[in-house]
């Protein structure tokens, strides 16, 4: 019986990497994309000293990371191994094999530059008309930090640990005091070691408590200081980061992200502001879930002139009889009063009161009536012995306008989950990126998240745009527009007359005018 035989391992052959990678392989598109980027413009460090061993060019390491994240490889050690055995990476890296420390440091040290690379993917999506800029949705997802629950502490947890240690110390002292005669030296030494160990632990927890008192924070994480214990789902908590994202509805492409360690209640205003700057317009609608329903954030969104639709949360507390819930009280704008279900007016003295909620303060008016106590529905209406009191915030009209928009556009709002959850589903379920790879500060976490969303956008563009068209686009960028940009920059270095300034401005204008131009947008908003 005949079988297919392999080659002799001792046979000498001429091998070319170029022939090993097909012309339609997407690794060539990655190479062209990075080649179209001026690394210095994007903020990557280029000022390496001439002494000592030469450094790796940032473009080579960026190619490595984009390829890695597109193929679900984030570990620096694994990327190092792949450079030695993966034929595609051998071609992409031209045979270079960076050390895993070099790979990890590149990611850790370039969060701002990586964010600009993400912006470049958004610009590329705009050039291919993949951004509709009419309907967008914002939401957040929790990515687990490199910090266990065991190494996360709050005042109550610290108090429990100290109380337990005090009990153990008291027990050991009791054992020593109850010894009949002279206990053995070995046992005494063992107990002494345990006592000393507990005292050290107690001092450690006391230092944690001191840090919390001095910083005003409610949590402290020892492995990743900026991470916090957050509710992920069904009241399950994880030590994680909260990633805020805005996604365009046309092709489910993220246009913005921000890594935070707090909940969603104060995020909407800045998300709206950044979207306005990115899109350069205000005639679009943003969809959010009920976690973003905050009066002050409605005020920020209104100042930006952008329409938002936010899900209405359930009533926090009900009246003894739900017929008398606040929602059933009618507000008379002309009279500036509320009319209760029994037909009685609740009036205000016109004063604005400040109500503090955490670090946020809201202005509000109080509405009440002296006839409340004599009302036949008193016990059904309120448990307050002084009578019913309604608080109306300064943002009440904006909240009411949002409620009316939600009622009039139910079908539009139903699209929210499908829009914004699509990237999260791909990133966390398919790719397995449910945790942050880097640790020690939110800055380093932002670099990892930036590469995740960069890879996602590149994958979306690769899947939607014809590869031949995309290849021509990137070739034009790398072979023509990048050299032209470099030419005008070189002229700017010899800026010795007003005429040269005019040339510089005209060159910038031409680059901005051409849809093919790909560069970091300096007007892109900084995350707040």
Distance CA 64, CA 96 (A): 10
CA distances 189 to 166, 178, 195, Å, are: 19, 16, 10
253 and 183, same structural domain? no
pLDDT for 523 equals 47
pLDDT tens-place string over residues 12-36: 777 788 888 888 899 999 999 998 8
203 and 231, same structural domain? no
Residue 25 lies in a domain: no
- CB-CB contact of 323 with 300 (8 Å): no
Domain holding 415: CATH number?
3.30.420.10
258 and 288, same structural domain? yes
Cα atoms found within 13 Å of the Cα of residue 114, Cβ hemisphere only: 27
346 and 240, same structural domain? no
Phi, psi of 410 (to 5 degrees): -65, -40
Distance CA 246, CA 272 (A): 9
Residue 270 lies in a domain: yes
346 and 199, same structural domain? no
Q: Which domain holds residue 362?
A: 322-394
- Give the SS3 label for residue 526: coil
Neighbours of 494 (CB within 10 A): 8
pLDDT for 265 equals 84
Q: Of 178, 193, 218, which residue is a domain's last?
A: 218
352 and 242, same structural domain? no
Phi, psi of 152 (to 5 degrees): -120, 130
241 and 140, same structural domain? yes
Distance CA 125, CA 51 (A): 41
pLDDT for 489 equals 55
420 and 309, same structural domain? yes
Residue 38 lies in a domain: no
Distance CA 84, CA 94 (A): 11
Distance CA 135, CA 334 (A): 35
189 and 306, same structural domain? no
301 and 258, same structural domain? yes
265 and 174, same structural domain? no
pLDDT for 505 equals 54
CA distances 495 to 312, 499, 511, Å, are: 57, 9, 19
Residue 496 lies in a domain: no
Distance CA 156, CA 211 (A): 14
Residue 120 lies in a domain: no
Task: Say how many domains are in the chain.
Answer: 3
Q: Of 394, 422, 455, which residue is a domain's last?
A: 394
Residue 341 lies in a domain: yes
Residue 480 lies in a domain: no
pLDDT for 184 equals 67
390 and 364, same structural domain? yes
- Give the SS3 label for residue 347: strand
In DSSP notation, 233-263 reads ETTEEEEEEEEEEEEETTTTEEEEEEEESS-
Per-residue pLDDT 10s for the chain (528 aa) are 688 888 888 887 777 888 888 888 999 999 999 988 888 888 887 766 666 678 888 999 999 999 999 999 999 999 999 999 999 999 999 999 999 999 999 999 999 999 999 999 999 999 899 999 999 999 999 999 988 888 888 889 988 988 898 888 888 877 777 665 555 667 777 778 888 888 888 888 888 888 888 888 888 888 888 888 888 877 788 899 999 999 999 999 999 999 999 888 888 999 999 999 999 889 999 999 998 988 889 989 999 999 999 998 887 677 888 888 888 888 888 888 888 888 888 888 888 888 777 667 778 888 888 888 888 888 888 888 888 888 888 888 898 899 999 999 999 999 999 999 999 999 999 999 999 998 888 999 999 999 999 999 999 999 999 988 888 888 887 675 555 555 555 555 555 444 555 555 555 554 444 444 455 554 444 444
Residue 368 lies in a domain: yes
């Amino acid at each position: 019986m005949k079988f297919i035989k392999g080659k002799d391992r001792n046979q000498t052959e001429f091998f070319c990497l170029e022939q090993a990678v097909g012309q339609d392989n997407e690794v060539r598109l990655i190479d062209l994309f990075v080649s179209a980027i001026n690394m210095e413009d994007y903020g990557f460090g280029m000022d390496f000293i001439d002494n000592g061993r030469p450094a790796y060019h940032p473009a080579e390491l960026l190619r490595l990371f984009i390829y890695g994240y597109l193929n679900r490889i984030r570990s620096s050690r694994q990327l190092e191994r792949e450079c030695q055995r993966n034929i595609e990476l051998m071609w992409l890296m031209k045979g270079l094999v960076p050390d895993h420390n070099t790979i990890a440091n590149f990611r850790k040290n370039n969060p701002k530059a990586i964010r600009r690379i993400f912006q470049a993917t958004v610009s590329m999506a705009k050039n291919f008309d993949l951004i509709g800029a009419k309907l967008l949705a914002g939401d957040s997802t929790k990515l687990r930090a490199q910090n266990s629950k065991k190494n996360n502490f709050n005042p109550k947890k610290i108090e429990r640990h100290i109380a337990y240690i005090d009990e153990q110390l008291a027990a050991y002292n009791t054992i020593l005091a109850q010894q009949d005669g002279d206990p053995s030296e070995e046992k005494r030494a063992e107990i002494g070691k345990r006592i000393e160990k507990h005292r050290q632990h107690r001092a450690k927890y006391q230092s944690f408590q001191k840090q919390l008192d001095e910083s005003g924070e409610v949590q402290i994480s020892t492995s990743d200081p900026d991470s916090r214990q957050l509710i992920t789902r069904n009241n399950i908590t994880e030590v994680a980061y909260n990633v805020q994202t805005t996604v365009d509805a046309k092709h489910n492409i993220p246009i913005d992200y921000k890594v935070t360690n707090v909940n969603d209640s104060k995020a909407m205003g800045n998300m709206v502001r950044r979207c306005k700057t990115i899109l350069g317009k205000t005639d679009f609608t943003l969809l959010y879930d009920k976690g973003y329903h905050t009066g002050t954030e409605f005020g920020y969104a209104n100042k930006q002139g952008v329409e938002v639709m936010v899900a209405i949360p359930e009533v926090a507390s009900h009246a003894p009889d739900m017929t008398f819930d606040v929602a059933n009280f009618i507000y008379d704008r002309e009279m500036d009063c509320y009319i209760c279900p029994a037909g009685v007016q609740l009036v205000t003295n016109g004063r604005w009161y400040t109500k503090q909620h955490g670090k946020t303060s809201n202005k509000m008016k109080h509405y009440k009536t002296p006839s409340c106590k004599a009302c036949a529905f008193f016990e059904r209406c309120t448990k307050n012995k002084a009578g019913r009191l309604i608080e109306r915030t300064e943002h009440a009209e904006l909240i009411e306008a949002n409620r009316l928009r939600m009622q009039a556009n139910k079908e539009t709002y139903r699209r929210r989950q499908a829009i914004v959850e699509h990237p999260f589903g791909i990133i966390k379920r398919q790719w397995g990126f449910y945790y942050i790879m880097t640790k020690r500060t939110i800055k380093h976490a932002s670099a990892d998240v930036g590469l995740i969303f960069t890879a996602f956008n590149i994958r979306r563009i690769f899947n939607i745009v014809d590869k031949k068209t995309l290849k021509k686009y990137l070739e034009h960028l790398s072979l023509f527009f990048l050299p032209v940009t470099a030419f005008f920059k070189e002229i700017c270095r010899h800026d010795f007359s007003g005429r040269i300034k005019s040339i510089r401005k005209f060159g910038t204008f031409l680059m901005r005018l051409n849809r093919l131009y790909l560069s970091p947008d300096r007007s892109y908003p900084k995350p707040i």
